[in-house]
Structure 1
Amino acid sequence: MKVFRAIIRAFLAAPLAAWLVCLCTAAAAQTPAPAQRISITIVDENGAVVPDAQITIQESDKPALRLSADFSGHAAYSIAAPSPYSIRVTKPGFYESVTQEADPLARDIRIVLTHEQMLVQQVDVSASSAEIDTQEVSDKLTLALPEIINIPYATSRDIRNLLPYFPGVVQDQYGQIHIAGSETWATLDLLDNFDIRSPISGQLAMRFSADAVRSIDQETTRYPVQYGRSTGGVLAFFTGMGDNKFRFNATDFLPSFHDANGIRFDKVVPRVTFTGPVVRDRAWFFDGMEFEYDNIYIRELPEGENTNQLARGSNLFRVQFNATPRNIINTGLLFNDYHSPYDGIGSLTPRSSTTHTDILAWLPYIRDQHTFHNGALLDLGLGITRFRTGYEPHTGPPYALTPELSQGSYFETLTSSSQRVEANALFYFPPLHWLGRHDLQAGLDLDRIGYDEAYQRDPVNYLREDRTLLRQSTFPAYEPFTRHNVESGLYVQDRWTPRTGLLFEPGLRVDFDEIISSPVVSPRLAVVYSPKRAVNTTKISAGVGIYYEHTQLEYLARALAGTRYDTYYAADGITPTTPPLPTTFTYNDESLKEAHALNWSIGIEHRLPHAIYVKANYIQKEVSHEFTYVNQQSPALSGNYVLTNRREDDDSLVSIEARHSFSGNYTLFGAYTHSLAHTNAAIDYFPSISYLGPQQSGPLSWDTPNRVLSWGWLPFYVPWFKKNWDFVYTFDWHTGFPFTSINANREVVGAANGQRFPNYKSFSPGLEWRFHFRGMYLGLRGILENINNSGNYATVNNVLDSPQYGQFTEPSGRALTARIRLIQSKK
C-alpha cells in the first residue's frame, strides 16, 4: 500500500506541476479574444458575480448552444446570424432568467440572477430546475432554499439536523456529523467560506439560525485544492443578504409539546430575519436572530434528577457594500451564547453528575472581491473565530461510576479559550485559450490557532455492582497550559476544457504547519466526460488525489493534561491491591507526521425521461498516519501513552440517488447508500476517563453499512382540501450504530464496537396549510415525527457487570410538532 501511494503521488505531482507552470507562462502571453465575440456577465441582484451558471443560447433554426459561466461569472460566444436570439440562464438557488429578444449587435450583456427568497413577493418567476452541470467535477450536492424550508427534518430549528438528508452524511447519537465514514473533525465546515470548526476539537460548534442559511453545499470527493487540510470532505453554508426591499420573516413563535409521562412543554425557538437596503443600489444588510429555550425531560431518571432548562441564542449580522461596480465588500458578525445548568443530562447521567456550562463564541469577518476589466477576479478574506468555554460541577458527594450510571458531583472543572485567525486570498485568472479553454486559479491560506486551558480534577471512583470500590483515579494539580499553531497553504488549479463534453481539472496544493514542520504536497486530478450525443443528459466523473489533514490539536492537549494515578482495591473496597499506578500522555513534535488520505472515485449522472435525474457514486478513501495514542507498557492498563501516527482508516461509499422536480417547485428525492468505516484503532484513549485495554481493529462508532433515505413535498390533492395544502415527508432507515462492551473497570470486553443498536427507522409525514391573515401570507405545518413509533434509542448500558447490560434507553418515540412561518407580508 505504501508503494502504491508513492506511485500515485509521483504520478500526479510532477506532471501537474509542469502542466501548471506551462499554463501560467502561456497565460501571461495570451492575446485578447476576437472582438466579434459576445461577452456575457452573470451577477446577482446586488451585483456580486455568479460563477458556474448554466447558459443556453438559442438562435432560430440552430441547435441550442450550452455554456457555463466561469469563476468570475463570465462566458463568451459567437452568434451565426445578426438576428435576435434568446438567452436562458439557470443556477440552483436562483430564479431562472430568460431573455427572449437579445440584441445581436450588443457585444457585452449583463444578466441578473435573483436569489430564491423565503418571502416570495413575486410570482412571475420560476426557480431554476435541476440540470446536469458538466463543469462540476466533484460530487457536490446542494440543498438550496426550497429544501431548507420544505424538508421536515426533526427538530427543524437546528440546521445541523438537516445535514443527514445528504446521502452519505451520518449524524451520530451525540449529534456530530460524519461524511462518508470520516471523523467529524476531518470535515471542513465553512460559513461564507470561513472555517467555523472549533479550533481545538475540530467539531462543527458554531450555531446560526436555519432561516439565515440560503444554501448548503456538500462535497465528499474530487473537491478542488482550494479546500485544504481536510480528508473527510466539505460542508459549506452560504447565508442570505438583503436587497432593495425591506423584508421581515418570523418562524416558530409557538411553543411545542411532547408526550413524556404526560403532555409536557418541550421548547420554544423563535427565529427572526430582517433585511433591506442601507443605501439603495449600493449597500444592504441582513440580520438573522434565533433564541431557544428547552425544557429537557429524561423519563428514565427519578423525579428531581431528570430535567434541565437550556437556553441559547445566536445572531448573524451582515452588510454588503458595493464600493464600485467592480469592488464588493462583505462584512459580518456571528455571535453565539449557550447556557445549560445541567449539561450532559441523560438516562445514564442524573442531574447531580452534570455540569453548569456556559459557552460564548463569535466570528467577525470581512471579504473584499474585486473584478478586473479583463475578467480576472481577486477575492480576499479575513476572519477571527473565538470560543470561550467553562463548566463546573454541582456540589455533592465524590464522583463515582457504577455499572448502571454515574453518581455524585462531576470530577472536573474547566476554563478554556481558543481562537483562529484566518486570512485567505484567491485569484481567478482570465480565461486562457490554448488547446481548448483553461480557467486557472491560485490561492493562499494563512491560519493562526491558539488555545489555553485550565483544569481542576477531583478523584473518580469506579464501583462494582455491589457498590464496593474497584478503582480510584486521582489527578495531581498542574499548571494551566497554552499552545498555538500556524498553518499556511499555497495552491494552483486549472479547469481545462479541450472540447465540449470533456473537462480536466488538475490541481496542486502545498501546506506548511508549525507543529509538523515538513511541507506536504497534495496533487489531485479529476476528469468529466459527456458523450457528444448526450451532453447535458449524461456525465461521467472520475478523480484521484492526496488530501492532507490539519493538525488535530485536541490530541496534543491530552498530553498537557497531567498525570493520572490509578489505585485498585480488593473485594472489600477498602484494601489497596496496588500502589498508585501512573498514566501519562506524551508526544514529540519531531516524530509526528500529517495524516493524509488517498481518495479516488468514479460517478455517473444521467437524465431519464420525464426529467428524472439519477446519480451513482463510488468512493474509496484510505487514510494513513492519523493520530492515536499507544501504551508503551501494553498489555498493562496504566503506563505511558505516546502519540503516534499508527492509525489507519478505510472508508468506502456506494450511493445511488434519484430526484424529480415537478412544476411548482415540488420535489421527490430518494437514495440508497452502502458505507463502511473501519479503523485499526477503534479504542480512543483519554487521560481522564477512558476505555482501557489493548488496541483493536473494528468499525468506527458511526459505521452504517446500509441506509435508505427519501424526502419530498407534493401538492395535497384531496377533494375536500383546497389547493393551498402541501404534503411533506421524510423517511430514513439505516443500520444501527456500533457500541463497545466494557466491564465495571471500563476495560473493553470482546471486540471493540462489536455490538450494535437496533436498526434506525423513521417515517415523518406532515401537512402544510398556506393561508392569508390580515395582509400576511402564512404557512402552518404539522408533522407526525416517527409516526411508526420506532424506538430509535440514543443510549445503551454497555457494562457487562450490570444486570441492565444491553438495555437501550432514550427513544425518540412519536411526536407531533408544529411550525408557523411568514411566507409573504403586505407590500
Structure 2
Amino acid sequence: MKVFGEEASWTARRRWMSLLLIVGLGWAMAGESEGRAALQVGRIKGKVIAVTADRREPLAGVLVVLSGEFLPGKVAQTISDDDGSYSFSDLPPGDYVLSVEVEGFERFAQKIMLPLGAIVEVPIELKPKAVREAVTITAGEDELRRVESNIPAQLGAPLLRNAPLVNEKFQDALPLLPGVVRGPDGLLNVKGARAAQSGILVSSINATDPVTGQAAVELPIEAVETIQVYSNPYSAEFGKFTGAVTAIETRAGTNEWKYLLTNFVPRLRKRAGTIMGIESATPRFALSGPLARDRLFFFQGLEYRFVRTRIPSLPDLQNDTRLESFDSFSRFDAALTSAHRLTLIVSVFPQKLDFVNLNTFNPMATTPNFHQRGWFVAVHEQAAFSNGSLLQSSFSLKDFDADIYGNSPPPFRITPNGNAGGWFNRQHRESRRYEWAEVYHLPTFSWGGQHAFKIGSHVAVNTFTGLDRSDPVHILRADGTLAQLEIFLGEGRLQRRNTEVTFYGQDKWTVHPRLTLDWGLRYDRDGIAGENNLAPRVGFVLLPFADPRTIVRGGVGLFYDKVPLNVGAFEQYQTMQVTRFGPDGRTITDGPRVFSNIVEGGSLRTPRSTAWSVQVDRELTRRVLVRFGYEERRSRRDFILEPTRLPTGESALVLSNRGRSRYREFQILTRLRLQERHELFLAYVRSRAEGDLNAFSAYIGNFHNPIIRPNEYSRLPFDAPNRVLLWGDVRLPFDLLLSPVVDWRDGFPFSLVDEEQNFVGPRNRGGRFPRFFSLDLQITKGVTIPFFGKKYRTRLGVKIFNVTNHWNPRDVQNNIHSPAFGTFYNSVPRTFRGKFEIEF
C-alpha cells in the first residue's frame, strides 16, 4: 500500500522469513529437550461417583476439569467413561485444582499437589444439594489464593458470555471490574492510570502498540478463557507499566469437538423514520477439538464486524460512526512427548474505523478515520525435566500498522460552538516487535520453609517508521475573527528503534502454613532511555487465625514503565509555528513563533511508580465473602509537554520527565453466591486520580491535540471519586439466566475555556458531568432445536442497556463565550438488542 507516495517498508519476503524463523526455533527447542524429559510426568485419575444416603453410583459423561499453571491454556478437560472413570496423563509436577459441576449436585473442587512422576488417585464424590449442610467441599481455587500476595480481578468465559456487553468484545467487560473506567476519550483507564501507562498481555505476549504504548489487539470473545487485571503485581515477572496490567489467557482445544455460532442475524438501520440498510452485522464462529486425540488440539475463533453507531445529538444520516473489522484467532497445542508441549498462536485483526470521535461538536466532516492492520504470531514451548524443574520458552512477532486521515479538505477550524473543516493530521505508521522470553522454574526446596523459585529473561526489539504531517489549524473567536493560526513545519518523517532487555528472579517462600512471602528483583534496560533499572518487590499472605476464612495480603514494589517509540521520535515530528492576532483577526500581536521540539537535558529517563496495597478477605458464610482493600500509587518521571520560552528568546515545545501522578483507592467488595456457579458482586470504590495534565499521550498519539497550553497538576480527566458497581448472574426457573449490571459513579471533571481556547480557572475544576447511572440486563433462555434428527442447544434472549433511560450525557459545552455554555448533550437512550447463539 502506498501512503503519501511511500512504499510500505516491510516486504512480503521478510514476513515469510520471520514466520519460518519462529517455526524453526520452536521445533529446535522441541528436539533439544525431548530426550531430557521422559521420566518426570505424572497422572491424576479416579472415578466420578454419585453418593446418596443408601447407594453409590458411578456417573458417566461428566465433564471433569483440571486447572494448573503448566497446562496448555492453564486448563484441561475430560469426560468420565461408562464406569465413571476419568484420567489426566502426562502431567508435570505442581499444584492443580480438580473440579466438577453437575446440575443437582454440590460443586466439587479439590486442590492436588502432584509430586514428580506420581500417580494420584482422587475419587470425585458428588452429593445431592438436598444434603448440603452435611457436605464439606474443599474449595481448591480458594486454597490456591491463600498463597497469592496479589489477587487479580478476574473475568471468566461464562461471565463474558452472559454479561450484557454492548459490543460483545473483551474490552467491554473490563469496566465491570472495580477501579476500571472508560474515560471521556473512550480509552480504558485501569486503577487511575492513563491508557499508555498500563500493559496488556495475550497468552503472556506483550500486545501493546510499540509506537503509542496503548493496547493494540482484538480477539473474538470466544477465544478468551480468562481476563485478569493486576493493579500491583508483586511478582517480578510483570513489568513495562506504572499503572496496571491486563493478562488475557486464550482458549485451547480439548478432546471434545465443539462448535459455536452466534450473532448471525444482522440488525437493520432505522433513520429518519425508515429502514436504511444494515446497522450492524457481527457474526461469530468458534470451533475447537482434537486433531489427534490426546496429542494435538485446535481452537479457531472468527468474527466479522460491521457496525454503525448512532450519535443522538447529531442530525440523522450525519450521525453514524462506522466500524468494519475481521478478527481471527488460531491456536494449536501439541503434546510432543509425555513432558514436552508446544503451542502455536496466530492472530489477525485488521480494522477500519471511520468518523472517530464523532460527537456534538465534531461533525462527520471534521473527524479522522483510523485504519489499522494488526497481527501477531507466537510460539510457546514447555519442557519438564527429571529433577522437577520446568523451562518455558516463547518467541513472538507482532506487526501493527496504522493510517489516520481526514474526511474533508483543510483547514481545521476550532470555534467556541464547535469545530469545522477537515481533520488536520495525517499519519502512516509501520511498527514491529520481536520478543523472546525464557522462564526457568527451579525444583522446590526447603530452607526455612518451602521455596518455589523461578528466574526469567526477556528481550524485545521494537521498530517503527512512518510519516506524520499536519495541515494548518485556525482558532476562531465567537465573531468569526481569527485568533490564532498554527502551521506545521518539517517533513514529519519518523523512524525509531528500541531494544529492551529484562532479567528477574522471583521466590514464593512459604515460611509457615499461615504465612507466605513473594519477593523478587527485576532488572530492565531500555534502549531509548539508556538506563539500568532495578525494581525490588515484596508481597505477603497472612492467615492470622486458625480459621482459614480470614486472609490478609499486601505488599510494596517499584515498577518501571515502557518508553513508547513515538516518545523516542519526538524531535523528528513537525514543529509548530504559532501566530496570534488581535480583535480584527488581521493584526499580528505575537509571532510567527516557532516552537522547536526539544528533549529537556538531551535525554529521557524511564517513568516509574511506587505502589503499595493491603487487603483483608473474610468469608462470613459459605455464601458470603467480604473484602476490604486500600492501595496507593505514586508515579514519577511521567512524560509531559510544556510550551516554553527559552533564555535565548526562542520558543520550544519541551518534552521532559517532570510529570507526576497519584492514585488512591479504598474498596469494599461483597460476593454473594446465590447458587452453584452463579454469583453476585457488589462493590463500592472511593478513589482519587490526580496528576500533570500535559501528558505526552494526551497530545501526540493516534489523534493529535493541536492546542497545547501550560501544564497544570489537577484531577485527571477520568477521576470518579465515588463508584458503586453490581454485576453477576442468577439462574431462574425454566432454564432462564438473568445477568444484571448496575453502574453508578460521579461524573468526570471538565475544564472551562474562552473563545481563544485558553483555560479559564484551574484545569478540570470547571465542574463535573452529571452522575452516571446505568442498569443493563441480559436475560436468556436455553432452547433445544431438533434438526435432521439431531438436537442442538441454543440460547435465545434479549439485552437491554440503560433500562431506566437515565440521562448520561457524554458532551458538554465548556466554552464560556458560547450561547450554549453549560449545556450537556449526547446521552445514549434505552437500547434493546437480541441474543441468539447455537452450540453443537
TM-score in terms of structure 1 length: 0.83
Mapped pair 1:528 → 2:549: no
- Could you tell me which residue of structure 2 aligns to residue 455 of structure 1? 468
Between the aligned partners of 1:128 and 1:263, the Cα distance in structure 2 is: 56
Between the aligned partners of 1:587 and 1:467, the Cα distance in structure 2 is: 36
Mapped pair 1:705 → 2:717: no
Deviates more, 1:126-135 or 1:580-589: 126-135
Query: Paired residue for 2:554, among 538, 542, 545?
Result: 542
How far did 1:375 drift? 1.9
Mapped pair 1:192 → 2:203: yes
- Counterpart AA for 2:731: P
How far did 1:268 drift? 2.2
- Could you tell me which residue of structure 2 aligns to residue 693 of structure 1? 709
Between the aligned partners of 1:459 and 1:762, the Cα distance in structure 2 is: 41
How far did 1:144 drift? 1.3
- Could you tell me which residue of structure 2 aligns to residue 480 of structure 1? 493
- Could you tell me which residue of structure 2 aligns to residue 441 of structure 1? 454
Query: Is contact 1:72-1:376 (8 Å) kept?
Result: no
How far did 1:150 drift? 1.8
Q: Secondary structure at the match of 1:559?
A: helix
Query: Is contact 2:43-2:119 (8 Å) kept?
Result: yes
Between the aligned partners of 1:46 and 1:501, the Cα distance in structure 2 is: 23
- Could you tell me which residue of structure 2 aligns to residue 629 of structure 1? 641
How far did 1:449 drift? 1.2
- Could you tell me which residue of structure 1 aligns to residue 804 of structure 2? 788
- Could you tell me which residue of structure 2 aligns to residue 49 of structure 1? 70
Query: Paired residue for 2:432, among 405, 415, 419?
Result: 419
- Counterpart AA for 1:196: A
- Counterpart AA for 1:538: T
- Could you tell me which residue of structure 2 aligns to residue 660 of structure 1? 672
How far did 1:288 drift? 0.6
Cα deviation code 1:440-461 (max 9, x no counterpart): 0100011111111202322111
- Could you tell me which residue of structure 2 aligns to residue 501 of structure 1? 514
1:772-783 mapped onto 2 (5 Å cutoff): 772-774=784-786, 775-783=791-799
Q: Go from structure 1 to structure 2 and tell me whether the alpha carbon gap of 1:519 and 1:440 turns closer, same or farther (over 3 Å shift).
A: same
- Counterpart AA for 1:193: S
Q: Go from structure 1 to structure 2 and tell me whether the alpha carbon gap of 1:558 and 1:402 turns closer, same or farther (over 3 Å shift).
A: farther
Between the aligned partners of 1:292 and 1:270, the Cα distance in structure 2 is: 7
How far did 1:550 drift? 1.2
Query: Is contact 2:334-2:342 (8 Å) kept?
Result: yes
Between the aligned partners of 2:283 and 2:138, the Cα distance in structure 1 is: 28
Q: Secondary structure at the match of 2:622?
A: helix
Q: Secondary structure at the match of 2:305?
A: strand
Query: Is contact 1:650-1:679 (8 Å) kept?
Result: yes
Q: Go from structure 1 to structure 2 and tell me whether the alpha carbon gap of 1:350 and 1:98 turns closer, same or farther (over 3 Å shift).
A: closer
Deviates more, 1:643-652 or 1:546-555: 546-555
Query: Is contact 2:73-2:250 (8 Å) kept?
Result: no
Query: Paired residue for 1:816, among 793, 810, 832?
Result: 832
Between the aligned partners of 2:804 and 2:775, the Cα distance in structure 1 is: 6
Aligned length, in residue pairs: 738
Between the aligned partners of 2:442 and 2:636, the Cα distance in structure 1 is: 35
- Could you tell me which residue of structure 2 aligns to residue 82 of structure 1? none
Query: Is contact 1:257-1:263 (8 Å) kept?
Result: no
- Could you tell me which residue of structure 1 aligns to residue 82 of structure 2? none
- Counterpart AA for 1:669: F
Query: Is contact 1:682-1:753 (8 Å) kept?
Result: no
- Could you tell me which residue of structure 1 aligns to residue 335 of structure 2? 322
Q: Secondary structure at the match of 2:645?
A: coil
- Could you tell me which residue of structure 1 aligns to residue 149 of structure 2? 137
- Could you tell me which residue of structure 2 aligns to residue 242 of structure 1? 253
Cα deviation code 1:323-354 (max 9, x no counterpart): 11211110111111112343332222111122
Query: Paired residue for 1:605, among 603, 617, 622?
Result: 617
How far did 1:652 drift? 0.8
Between the aligned partners of 1:817 and 1:638, the Cα distance in structure 2 is: 58
Q: Secondary structure at the match of 1:332?
A: strand
Q: Secondary structure at the match of 2:546?
A: helix
- Could you tell me which residue of structure 2 aligns to residue 180 of structure 1? 191
Between the aligned partners of 1:763 and 1:491, the Cα distance in structure 2 is: 45
Between the aligned partners of 1:88 and 1:619, the Cα distance in structure 2 is: 30
Query: Paired residue for 2:412, among 396, 399, 404?
Result: 399
How far did 1:424 drift? 0.9
Cα deviation code 1:255-287 (max 9, x no counterpart): 346887658654221111011122221111111
Query: Is contact 2:749-2:768 (8 Å) kept?
Result: yes
Query: Paired residue for 1:642, among 647, 654, 665?
Result: 654
Cα deviation code 1:461-486 (max 9, x no counterpart): 11111222211111124151201111
Mapped pair 1:74 → 2:103: no
Deviates more, 1:45-54 or 1:303-312: 45-54
Mapped pair 1:770 → 2:786: no
- Could you tell me which residue of structure 1 aligns to residue 35 of structure 2? none
Query: Paired residue for 2:179, among 163, 168, 178?
Result: 168
Q: Secondary structure at the match of 2:350?
A: strand
- Counterpart AA for 1:74: G
- Could you tell me which residue of structure 2 aligns to residue 29 of structure 1? none
Mapped pair 1:751 → 2:772: no
Between the aligned partners of 1:711 and 1:370, the Cα distance in structure 2 is: 40
Between the aligned partners of 1:46 and 1:278, the Cα distance in structure 2 is: 22
Q: Go from structure 1 to structure 2 and tell me whether the alpha carbon gap of 1:129 and 1:142 turns closer, same or farther (over 3 Å shift).
A: farther
- Counterpart AA for 2:493: P
TM-score in terms of structure 2 length: 0.82
Cα deviation code 1:378-414 (max 9, x no counterpart): 1111111111111332343532111122211222221
Mapped pair 1:761 → 2:773: yes
Q: Go from structure 1 to structure 2 and tell me whether the alpha carbon gap of 1:303 and 1:465 turns closer, same or farther (over 3 Å shift).
A: farther
> Structure 1: 5+ residue runs without aligned partners?
1-37, 55-70, 76-86, 114-125, 718-722
Between the aligned partners of 2:405 and 2:251, the Cα distance in structure 1 is: 37
Query: Is contact 1:764-1:784 (8 Å) kept?
Result: yes
Cα deviation code 1:744-763 (max 9, x no counterpart): 33222111111211111101
- Could you tell me which residue of structure 2 aligns to residue 121 of structure 1? none
RMSD: 3.3
Mapped pair 1:215 → 2:226: yes
Query: Is contact 1:129-1:661 (8 Å) kept?
Result: no
Q: Go from structure 1 to structure 2 and tell me whether the alpha carbon gap of 1:170 and 1:236 turns closer, same or farther (over 3 Å shift).
A: same
How far did 1:695 drift? 2.1
Query: Is contact 2:413-2:419 (8 Å) kept?
Result: yes
Query: Is contact 1:762-1:787 (8 Å) kept?
Result: yes
Q: Secondary structure at the match of 1:580?
A: strand
Mapped pair 1:252 → 2:263: yes
- Could you tell me which residue of structure 2 aligns to residue 340 of structure 1? 353
- Counterpart AA for 1:184: A
- Could you tell me which residue of structure 2 aligns to residue 490 of structure 1? 503
Deviates more, 1:354-363 or 1:267-276: 354-363
Between the aligned partners of 2:413 and 2:341, the Cα distance in structure 1 is: 58
1:264-283 mapped onto 2 (5 Å cutoff): 266-283=279-296
- Could you tell me which residue of structure 2 aligns to residue 370 of structure 1? 383
- Counterpart AA for 2:228: D
Between the aligned partners of 1:730 and 1:263, the Cα distance in structure 2 is: 32
Query: Is contact 1:613-1:659 (8 Å) kept?
Result: yes
Between the aligned partners of 1:651 and 1:139, the Cα distance in structure 2 is: 19
Mapped pair 1:306 → 2:326: no
> Structure 2: 5+ residue runs without aligned partners?
1-40, 46-63, 76-90, 125-136
- Could you tell me which residue of structure 2 aligns to residue 295 of structure 1? 308
- Could you tell me which residue of structure 2 aligns to residue 89 of structure 1? 98
Deviates more, 1:512-521 or 1:394-403: 394-403
Cα deviation code 1:492-535 (max 9, x no counterpart): 01111122111011111111111111201100111111135112
Query: Is contact 1:421-1:449 (8 Å) kept?
Result: yes
Query: Is contact 1:181-1:703 (8 Å) kept?
Result: yes
- Could you tell me which residue of structure 1 aligns to residue 741 of structure 2? 730
- Counterpart AA for 2:153: L
Between the aligned partners of 2:664 and 2:210, the Cα distance in structure 1 is: 28
Between the aligned partners of 1:549 and 1:100, the Cα distance in structure 2 is: 36
- Could you tell me which residue of structure 2 aligns to residue 806 of structure 1? 822
Cα deviation code 1:707-760 (max 9, x no counterpart): 00001211234xxxxx21122211000111112222233222111111211111
- Could you tell me which residue of structure 2 aligns to residue 58 of structure 1? none
